[in-house]
Structure 1
Amino acid sequence: MVDFLTPAQRSERMSRIRGTDSRPELALRRALHRLGLRYRLHAKDLPGKPDIVFPRYKAVVFVHGCFWHRHAGCNIATTPKSNTPFWVEKFDKNVARDSRVVATLEELGWHVFVAWECELAPSKVQATAEQLALAIRATGT
């Protein structure tokens, strides 16, 4: 399928994709806060700058977009039809970086959790937050 946007329009649209404070991330943060969990944001002193950090539990949460981080089995994680080699290489690098960051954090003694964009839809965010809160509290430091 041919892109219906011009290269300038596509560039503008892609530039608006946020790295922090995305809608799924904000929804999860609000839900976790309502559940009584307190956290730090985007810790620059930790590998990968986790989105949500729970120092008390030595736990971190990454909020991953299904498209960018290749959520297995998710229909949001499609591969664009144009410039496919570029996208495949980009996605492979993202996944490899994610694996390195998780391994490094675990070596440092952190508990790493990933919340996927599709799990944070308005109808699912509360259930996801409750499961995540149970898992974080179970780390019990």
Structure 2
Amino acid sequence: MLSLSCAVQTYEWGKIGEESEVMQLAVSGCHTLELDPSSPFAELWMGTHPSGPSVLREEQETYLSKYISEYPKCLGSASREAFGMSLPFLFKVLSIRKALSIQAHPTKEHAQLLHRQRPDLYKDPNHKPELAIALTPFEALLAFRPSVEIAAFVQ
């Protein structure tokens, strides 16, 4: 098993300091940098995403993506065949203090096109299917009403 130092995202909507499960996890083993306890700690990222790649704790200079390229069997043959030499997901722990901004994720094909056209904005060619498992009480809104219902409300 590999022990990772994971990226911490301090988005404005995250819980502040030690109130945040993200900060608690980061301090307890995933993170090696100094963390400002007055900051909002929103997300802990575990994966190979270029905006927040995980690093092997035993070898602080080794990114998880480098380890995968050096030891491709760690992904398993089915994953390598389907997704190549990268993780097909970004595992996140969220610690939410207030409502998040609305998000819209492209299809796989559109994500690939956007990444080719604007790699500075679209860091990877993957779509963003999401799965949420609430560890604490949680409320969420998902999708939109059918357009016919929205039009009826407007009238």
Q: TM-score, normalised by structure 2?
A: 0.20
- Name the structure, 1 or 2, with higher relative contact order (CA <8 Å, separation 6+): 1
Higher helix proportion: 1
Q: TM-score, normalised by structure 1?
A: 0.21
Higher Rg:
2
